[in-house]
Structure 1
Amino acid sequence: MSSAPLSHLDRLWLCEAIRLREEQSGPLEDGEINRRARLAGPSLETRIESRALQLAERDGQRAALGHWRQGARLGLLILLLLAVLTGAGLAFAALGDGQRPVNVFWALGSLLGLHLLTLFGWLLGLLLTRDAGGALGRLWLWLSERLARDAQAVQLAPALMILLRRRRLARWGLGTLVHGLWLVTLLSALAMLLAMLSTRHYSFVWETTLLGADSFVRLTQALGALPALLGFGLPDIEQIRASGASPLREDSARQAWAVWLLGVLLIYGLLPRLLLGLLCLWRWRRGVRRLRLPLDAPGNALLRERLQPPSERLGVQDAAPTALPESRAGAFAAEAEGRLLVGIELDPAYPWPPVLPAGVGNAGVLDSREQRRQLLERLAQRPAARLLLACDPRRSPDRGTLALLGELSRSAAATRVWLLPVDTDAARLDDWRAALQRLGLAEASLDWLEKGHD
């Protein structure tokens, strides 16, 4: 078992991934897991979640989730690095090398143009299409899937989007990512601007052919009004008019234009992204807390009969899967007690049961599906501390028998197989021992039940 605890979102995410996998490739082999899931709790939601988590652990989806998260963190790191470099590039594009005067409105367009275009696009997506992830969000999902490098992770990204879109959470989660990346970009641009303005002399100018000086005066004052409320100064009217003809050489004029440019970047660039990022984060956390398993989904609705049956049904309930998993033995990890002997499809002529030591129970001989089901249900409720499975080595170790041995072993703290002392050829015994070795079970005799060692 993976030691890292799963969050509420992770559990629902794995449930959706298992549902999507069964929808695409058919029902999974889940007889033993369904029995355990029915003991998880009375509600259908609890049982579906328990079943999905056990299947995810068995088939590798839980490990794939960890790999997907590693890929997501690496993808985010790459995007953050690109954001820092992009912000620095915007600052260089805005100010240049200092050899020529800086056109303040071209510089402002370089700093805020792409930001404002993508911001309006995000708002339109939020209002019209209900998809506010944007290109950056989709790029991050694509990078996460590619960097995961796990074949079992193929359903994780689609499952996450299906789960979140049911409550329209995808736009808030990806919106947090998008605004966060833009915030880093603009912070990088602001830091680079401060560094460049602190180490070089820049002269500022505005130029026009069609518009008059009054238009630029009004525009400069309108853009500087909100920054002025936070203490950012702006050039006076004479400085604005004079900057249209030629760049002013006075330090006061240079400083006034530089402070105005920084204030406009802060108010119209960083502040909207910060506020929208916090809004998306708040809506995301609030929505995740309210997220529940969709019991009306097609795959989950079909599980009701198996996990909350009106009565136990006999016989085959599901079609055979396209591929059967290899049987493996295991051990019950929780508290277990008692010692039990079980016969597996023994010859009726064989004297059974043997004389049992004190405290050892006899579970009989399993010959029918109903007997197997009853024993598994019993062990699911009261796991055995030691379980000895007696097998007739004259029979072939077929796949069905080995699967039963593996399933029974997972209902006990310790399990051994007793190959009965009957006349059989050495080749058949070798087949059994090889099969038990692949299964992960050891041989023992009846004494093991009493003494507890091989």
Structure 2
Amino acid sequence: MSHGIWSLSFAVVLAALLFALAFRSYTLSWETTILDPDFFVRAVQMLGWAPAQLGFPVPDADTVRSAARDAAGQRTWALWLTGCIVVYGLLPRLALVLLSAMVWHRRRAALQPDWNAPYYSKLKARFAVLAPPTIVDADPGRAPGVAPGGLAPSQLSDMLFVVGFELPADAPWPPEGLHADAATEIQRIDGSAPARRALLDRLAQARPRSVLLICHAASSPDRGTERFLRDLLAHCGACRLWLTDAARDTADAGAPQRWIEWLQGTGLPRVTAVHKREDALQGQGTQP
């Protein structure tokens, strides 16, 4: 990480230097009081050897000794300075980044702890004897709500409503054996608020004698399902809940039990839960 940050810093500095040299005029020269001019010639040639291998120019002896600063000479000085920064600043850091990456790649397997070492064995033993958490304020549950009242028999029409509620997209619809006619209306809703309101408005107009609500047995009932059932029971006579599986039209033996226990806890005794096709179509079910 350190070499990577330094490489990025050198790249930023190099970009700023090139931008400055491109749009500003600078005069580069050597100044000394006691050193011989040949010292600078040798220093420039030694420092410029490595950049020259990459194509950067090196000022000759006349350019170094010359007091006149022409444009061509200044351009050579600028490129020589840029090459020194690249060769002696940026490239070593990039090489160290690659070296560090190679070392890390070879040694990262050793970063995995040896769980059989005595230290880790001691830690595992200490964790194993820790007491499990104790729930001191367990949820006492929710008191069953008041069962909604239905319509009187004289207010009901001789109709059957079949409603698919929040079924999976691949569930066959309508289920085999159900056909819409004058006495049977089949609908499927996605559970959204507008779809629920539209269905409840239709039930309030039709007041069917029976409603067959088809739900996916593998799904989990929630408070939204409870509210929908309570609103639905206010507009019909009887309600059956057919718990089906999207693939087989019959639920696993243990899947409906969660719904049955949920119906018991929510206080909806008027809802009959069934999970077999013949029970759903014939109106024979098991009371929860």
Normalised by the length of structure 1, the TM-score is: 0.30
Relative to its length, the structure with more helix (as a share) is 1
Largest Rg, 1 or 2? 2
Normalised by the length of structure 2, the TM-score is: 0.45
Relative to its length, the structure with more strand (as a share) is 2
